[in-house]
Chains A and B, each alone.
Chain A
Amino acid sequence: MAQARVVVLGAGVAGHTAASFLKKWLGSKVEVTVVSPRPDYNWIPSNIWVGVGLLQPRQVLFPLAPVYARHGITFRQARALVLHPEGAGEDPQPFVEIESTLPGEEGQRSRLPYDFLLNATGPKLNFDATPGLGPGGHSLSVCTAPHAKAAADTFLELVERMKRGERKRFVVGTGHGTCTCQGAAFEYVVNLEFELRARGVRDKAEIVYLTNEYEVGDFGMDAVHIRRGGYVTPSKVFTESLFAERGVDWVTRAHVQGVEPGRATFETLDGAEHDITFDMAMLLPPFKGVGLQAMDRLGADITARLFAPSGFMKVDGDYTPKAYEAFRSADWPRTYQNPDYPNLFAAGIAFAPPHPISRPRQSPKGTPITPAPPRTGMPSAMIAKAVAHSITDMIQGSPGPTRTASMAEMGAACVASAGNNPFTGTAASMTVYPIVPDYERYPDYGRDLRHTFGEIGLAGHWIKILLHHMFLHKARLRPFWSLIPE
């Protein structure tokens, strides 16, 4: 068979994992092309430490082109614009239209033909959903390394002013009622508090955690229950305890309506409207799809057929709208293959979840205040590896996908830093199994309590440091990279 062409859109955890394994498993039988608008790989979990000035961006970034060149993967610095899964006109060859972002070639468009395409673009950081939100507005973010650096600059400037006796208020959390990634906001707020203590200015700071979660510790996963101290305890108890111990106040069930200089307005689930003033606000944006379009061979727009209204790609999940009580773990995708085009897959944040994991809620005014489901990190990489396996087997003759990686059948291990110091730092170590609760198998809490646990301590911090170095080693495709689990 001629060399198969696989195009991977995105070079984050999912895209990079899939591209690396495809090339490793198929070697010269495949031409793997990775398309990413940015030249660097970013180990996003460590952006938290960039955001408080403990790491520099270069410690969480590295250029992709040399790594891919060494491993025979083609890299195109470009953004994907339009999918043509049926080809165009008389030519049935599928292709994707891309637009270069390479300095000196910005805006140049070209076509990339493919035999298989994996959409792993990740999200668009949708700061526009909330007026004034984000680095272009009046709040900060840690979603990218440059954003985190800007947050650190502001943080360190405020620390200097607090050393001169000024009092400051920090607001950290989610910038919209439908945000996900509360884990990142949680990590940032406790690291910020730890650093204020380490720098001797904690008594000058007031810290407020502002979140769209119904209770803190929901994390978009409908909370996690663990056995501890003779009780089955929800994650709310542990999260509140962590905040209380650190003097962090919290406001839950909040949809941020707007951010102005030094002031955020928000609505809570009971319909009441509030405002809060701040000296520094780190508020995460909601996510949406990157805006990929799709066209059939006649040039008709089929975007709505391939993508959910959120802009994420539909795969083999059950997208029938249903009530929370009717949510089933079986609704979640297993192979991540698009139902209309068998050579199209999506992985990581780019696939459309069939529904939230947390119970959907809205205020009396109709404002949805529901965390979106998380699908970053470990699940993202495991899904990508399963898809890479399926594509490998399909290239070698299998009629369809051969591997599954349902979030309702996999667990996740997560370490949330709560302070970076080799002797006094701590982190919350957590495992959940499965990620999407399965109330048919585990009627009480939806999860297997034998494999769902959490604890805080210095050991977690050591693990976090270990993971930082291990995963950067793996992402750089250095010797034995493929032995490091996802």
Chain B
Amino acid sequence: MAEERLHYTPPAVPQVRPAFFATLPTGPTRHLRTSLVWQMLRFAIINLKMIRVISLSHHTGRKIRS
């Protein structure tokens, strides 16, 4: 008996691709992602946010109080 499997085929038209229902960035958003000036600023901000989470987490490695 042949296997009853659904064979994956690439979607024939864009509107049946899962991507059709996804959010897409606009041109300015894409531009900002690799804009050197903007990304330098984001570099600083992201680092600050990460340092904040890292410091919160290091507080969890605290001593057990007896």
What's the least CB distance linking B44 to chain A, in Å?
8
A387-417, CB < 8 A from B? 389, 400-406, 409-413
User: How far apart are B20's CB and chain A's nearest CB, in angstroms?
Assistant: 8
A387: nearest chain-B partner, CB-CB: B61
Q: Which of A400, A424, A455, A463 has a CB less than 8 Å from the CB of B34?
A: A424
- The one of B4, B22, B53 in contact with A243, judged by C-beta atoms closer than 8 angstroms, is B22
Q: How far is the CB of A425 from chain B (nearest CB, A)?
A: 8
- Please tell me if the beta carbons of A457 and B25 are within 8 angstroms of each other in the complex: no
Say yes or no for A153: interface residue by CB 8 A criterion. no
Are B18 and A240 in contact, with the CB atoms below 8 A? yes
Asked if residues A241 and B23 are in contact (CB atoms below 8 Å), the reply is: yes
Interface residues of A in 457-479 (CB under 8 A from B): 457-460, 462-463
Stretch at the interface among A77-85, A100-108, A267-275, A352-360: A267-275
Once the chains are docked, how many angstroms separate the CA of A400 from the CA of B35? 52
**Is B49 a contact partner of A431 (Cβ separation < 8 A)?**
yes
- Residues of B in contact (CB 8 Å), total 43
Q: How far is the CB of A173 from chain B (nearest CB, A)?
A: 12
Alpha-carbon distance between A432 and B35 when the two chains are bound, in angstroms: 26
B28 at the binding interface (Cβ < 8 Å): no
B11 touches A249 (CB 8 A): yes
One of B10, B25, B43 near A241 (C-beta < 8 A): B25
User: Is B19 part of the contact surface with A, judged by Cβ < 8 Å?
Assistant: yes
Q: Which of A208, A245, A410, A459 has most chain B Cβ within 10 Å?
A: A459
A243-B22, A403-B63 are known contacts. Are A426 and B33 too (CB-CB below 8 A)? Answer: yes
CB-CB under 8 A from B4, the residues of chain A are 273
- Give the residue of B6, B20, B43, B57 whose beta carbon is less than 8 angstroms from that of A382: B57
What is the bound-complex CA distance between A127 and B3, given in angstroms?
24
Q: Which of B18-60 contact A (CB under 8 A)?
A: 18-25, 30, 32-36, 38-40, 42-43, 46-47, 49-50, 52-54, 56-58, 60
**In the complex, what distance in Å separates the CA atom of A457 from the CA atom of B5?**
40
Q: Which of A420-444 contact B (CB under 8 A)?
A: 423-424, 426, 429, 431-433
Give the CA-CA distance A277 to B25 in the complex, in Å.
Answer: 31
| B46 partner, pick from A277, A451, A455, beta carbons under 8 A | A455
If A382-B58, A413-B53, A485-B58 touch, does A458 touch B39 (CB 8 Å cutoff)? Answer: yes
Measured between beta carbons, the chain B residues less than 8 angstroms from A243 are: 18-19, 22
Q: Is A304 an interface residue (CB 8 A)?
A: no
Q: Chain A, 248-275, contact with B by CB distance < 8 Å: what is the 0/1 string?
A: 1111000000000000010000001111
The one of A410, A433, A457, A486 in contact with B32, judged by C-beta atoms closer than 8 angstroms, is A457
Q: Report yes or no: A463 in contact with B46, Cβ–Cβ below 8 A.
A: yes
Report if A131 contacts B (CB, 8 A): no
Q: Closest CB of chain B to A14's CB: distance in Å?
A: 14
**Contact among B23, B32, B50, B62 for A413, CB-based, below 8 A:** B50
Chain A residues lying within 8 Å of B18, measured Cβ to Cβ, are 240, 243-244, 249-250
Instruction: Give the shortest distance, in Å, between A362 (CB) and chain B (any CB).
Output: 20
User: How many positions in chain A have a CB within 8 Å of any CB in the partner chain?
Assistant: 57
Q: Which of A88-142 contact B (CB under 8 A)?
A: none
In whole angstroms, how far apart are the Cα atoms of A272 and B30 in the complex?
38
**B39 surroundings in chain A (CB, below 8 A):** 457-459, 462
B61, A382: Cβ atoms closer than 8 Å: yes
Q: Identify which of A413, A424, A463 contacts B43 (C-beta below 8 A).
A: A463
Task: Tell me the complex Cα distance, A458–B4, Å.
Answer: 46
Question: In this assembly, does A276 line the interface, its C-beta being within 8 Å of a C-beta of chain B?
Answer: yes
Give the Cβ gap from B54 to chain A, nearest Cβ, in Å.
5
- Judged by a CB distance under 8 angstroms, whether A386 is at the interface is yes
Q: Are B11 and A457 in contact (CB under 8 A)?
A: no
In the complex, residue of chain A having the shortest beta-carbon distance to the beta carbon of B23: A241
CA of A402 to CA of B60, assembled, Å: 12
Chain B residues with Cβ below 8 Å from A273 are 3-6
B64 touches A412 (CB 8 A): no
Complex: how many Å from CA A400 to CA B66? 11
Q: Taking A413-B54, A431-B50, A433-B56 as contacts, is the C-beta distance between A241 and B22 under 8 angstroms?
A: yes
- Can you show 14 pairs from A to B with CB atoms below 8 A apart? A240-B23, A265-B5, A404-B64, A405-B60, A411-B53, A411-B57, A455-B46, A457-B32, A457-B33, A457-B42, A459-B40, A462-B43, A463-B50, A486-B54
5 nearest CB pairs, A to B: A244-B19, A244-B22, A410-B57, A276-B8, A459-B43
- B residues at A contact (CB < 8 Å): 3-8, 10-11, 17-25, 30, 32-36, 38-40, 42-43, 46-47, 49-50, 52-54, 56-58, 60-64
**Told that A423-B34, A457-B32 touch, could you supply 16 new A-B pairs with CB distance under 8 A?**
A237-B22, A240-B23, A265-B5, A275-B5, A275-B6, A403-B64, A404-B64, A410-B61, A412-B57, A424-B34, A451-B53, A453-B49, A455-B42, A457-B39, A458-B39, A459-B42
